[in-house]
């Protein structure tokens, strides 16, 4: 919004020229989202406590988690609101990527909010089937849209391959289902990882920062040409939403770090994971998501393996799934598990960024 107000005034005052720069607006977006969360989260915590919107700990979770009973949840509300505010303030409104991401963020935020609200009455919340159906609806809608209105004619209905320049896998109509899978998987993977204080928030910062760099490169014809990555016209604007994600999540981590004063809940984890997956699709860096989000992949894979192995052999591979609980039950303190998962995420981030040049 501010771009459309002030940039046209650049001929009157040269200082308004800075609004054309994505880097300036991205930095401002991150700061806006960060300050909004830092300032208003204490009030949200008090309101959630007054409304008795508190976490109910599942009886099968590790014993150390019993003390978390009663911690305010649904903190994702402040993350989503601050991201929407920051994005709409600093991102261009005449860019279709803006509205794709804003719509997805709002939709998945509402889905997560419904799930968290239902958990107040029933610990199970939305059924797994209902939650996945909600994600599938978004995935199908975006898949159909990208199928008929591709972001780049050159990359129509195809996906990029890391480490190889100008190599793409053409999927045809199956690209719609690929989009569906990416959105559902990324959204749920973050949701599964949100089980320790600061774990999901911290890893999300590194994942979003990785894609922040990649979106800026993809939207810059010189950088994308030099690094031999797909050039996606006007995709640089996505950088601003991702910077808002980094800023808001960093602010939330201030209150979510051990011992957490507030939990993110599905209201935050579902939309944030979905935004990362959608970004990967929009800049044709879909497969690298497996590396960038390596921690989330490991968390989700541990659940899938645990369930499948137990059904077949009636034995467990891990002491408990998702993976972070396995290490807790091995005797690692919660902060140690979280920080070590952050370190692993940083390593994944560095390797992923190296792929931009290793082609």
Containing structural domain, residue 24: 2-297+335-354
Helix 128-148 and helix 96-121, axial crossing angle in degrees, nearest 10: 170
Give the pLDDT score at 123.
64
The per-residue pLDDT of the chain, averaged, comes to 92
Segment 223-228 mean pLDDT: 88
Q: Let me know if residue 320 belongs to a domain.
A: no
Q: Residue 36 above 90 pLDDT? A: yes
> What percent of the chain has pLDDT above 70?
97
Give me the count of residues in the chain.
359
Q: How confident is the model at residue 3 (pLDDT cuts 50, 70, 90)?
A: confident
Q: Which residue has the tokens 């204080």?
A: 197
State in Å, rounded, how far the first CA of the chain is from the last one: 38
Say what the alpha-carbon torsion angle 19, 20, 24, 30 is, to the nearest 10 degrees: 80
Segment 92-106 mean pLDDT: 96
Q: Residue 59 above 70 pLDDT? A: no
Number of domains within the chain:
1
Segment 229-242 mean pLDDT: 93
> Could you tell me the two tokens for 20?
């054309």
Give the pLDDT score at 39.
97
Looking at the chain, the number of H-run helices and the number of E-run strands are 14, 2
Give the pLDDT score at 347.
96
Q: How confident is the model at residue 153 (pLDDT cuts 50, 70, 90)?
A: confident
Q: Let me know if residue 330 belongs to a domain.
A: no
- DSSP per position, 16-57: GGGGG-HHHHHHHHHHHHHHHHHHHHHHHHHHHHHTT-B---
Segment 305-309 mean pLDDT: 92
Sheet strands (E) in the chain: 158-160, 168-170
Q: What is the pLDDT of residues 155-198, one digit of tens each?
A: 889 998 887 777 788 999 999 999 999 999 999 999 999 989 99
Q: Let me know if residue 326 belongs to a domain.
A: no
* Rounded Cα gap, residues 267 and 348, in angstroms: 26
Poorest-pLDDT segment among 52-66, 143-157, 192-206:
52-66
Q: Let me know if residue 316 belongs to a domain.
A: no
Give the pLDDT score at 143.
96
> Could you tell me the two tokens for 22?
């994505």
* Rounded Cα gap, residues 308 and 302, in angstroms: 10
Let me know: does 315 contact 203? Beta carbons within 8 Å: no
Higher pLDDT, 199 or 65: 199
Q: Let me know if residue 310 belongs to a domain.
A: no
Q: Residue 232 above 90 pLDDT? A: yes
Q: Residue 86 above 80 pLDDT? A: yes
* Rounded Cα gap, residues 320 and 325, in angstroms: 6
The partner residues of 170 in beta bridges, in order of sequence, read: 158
* Rounded Cα gap, residues 259 and 307, in angstroms: 30
Give the pLDDT score at 82.
97
Q: Let me know if residue 318 belongs to a domain.
A: no
Q: What is the pLDDT of residues 109-145, one digit of tens each?
A: 999 999 999 888 766 778 888 999 999 999 999 999 9
Q: Let me know if residue 55 belongs to a domain.
A: yes
Spell out the residues 6+ positions from residue 342 whose beta carbon is closer than 8 angstroms to its own.
202, 203, 206
Q: Residue 356 above 90 pLDDT? A: no
Q: What is the pLDDT of residues 238-282, one digit of tens each?
A: 999 999 999 999 999 999 999 999 999 999 999 999 999 999 999
Q: Residue 228 above 80 pLDDT? A: yes
Q: Let me know if residue 313 belongs to a domain.
A: no
DSSP class of residue 105 equals: H
Q: Residue 66 above 80 pLDDT? A: no
Secondary structure string (H, E, C) spanning 238-305: HHHHHHHHHHHHHHHHHHHCCCCCCCCCHHHHHHHHHHHHHHHHHCCCCCCHHHHCHHHHHHHHHHHH
């Amino acid at each position: 919004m501010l771009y459309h107000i002030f940039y046209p005034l650049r001929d009157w005052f040269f200082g308004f020229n800075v609004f054309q720069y994505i880097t300036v607006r991205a930095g401002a977006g991150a700061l806006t989202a960060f300050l909004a969360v830092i300032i208003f989260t204490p009030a949200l915590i008090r309101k959630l406590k007054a409304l008795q919107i508190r976490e109910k700990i599942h009886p099968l979770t590790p014993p150390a988690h019993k003390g978390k009973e009663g911690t305010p949840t649904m903190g994702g509300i402040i993350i989503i609101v601050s991201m929407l505010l920051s994005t709409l303030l600093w991102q261009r409104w005449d860019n279709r990527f803006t509205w794709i991401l804003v719509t997805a963020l709002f939709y998945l935020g509402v889905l997560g909010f419904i799930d968290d609200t239902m958990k107040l009455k029933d610990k199970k919340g939305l059924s797994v089937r209902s939650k996945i159906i909600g994600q599938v609806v978004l995935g199908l809608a975006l898949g159909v849209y990208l199928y008929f209105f591709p972001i780049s004619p050159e990359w129509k209905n195809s996906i990029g391959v890391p480490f190889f320049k100008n190599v793409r896998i053409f999927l045809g109509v199956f690209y719609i289902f690929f989009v569906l899978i990416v959105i559902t998987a990324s959204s749920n993977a973050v949701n599964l990882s949100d089980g320790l204080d600061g774990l999901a928030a911290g890893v999300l910062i590194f994942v979003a920062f990785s894609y922040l760099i990649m979106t800026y490169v993809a939207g810059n014809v010189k950088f994308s040409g030099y690094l031999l990555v797909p050039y996606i016209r006007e995709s640089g604007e996505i950088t601003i939403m991702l910077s808002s994600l980094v800023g808001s999540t960093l602010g939330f981590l201030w209150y979510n770090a051990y011992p957490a004063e507030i939990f993110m809940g599905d209201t935050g984890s579902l939309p944030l994971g979905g935004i990362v997956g959608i970004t990967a699709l929009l800049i044709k860096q879909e497969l690298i998501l497996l590396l960038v989000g390596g921690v989330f992949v490991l968390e989700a894979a541990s659940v899938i393996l645990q369930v499948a192995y137990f059904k077949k052999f009636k034995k467990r591979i891990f002491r408990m799934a998702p993976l972070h609980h396995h290490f807790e039950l091995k005797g690692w303190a919660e902060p140690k598990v979280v920080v070590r998962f952050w370190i692993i995420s940083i390593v994944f981030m560095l390797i992923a960024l190296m792929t931009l040049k290793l082609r």
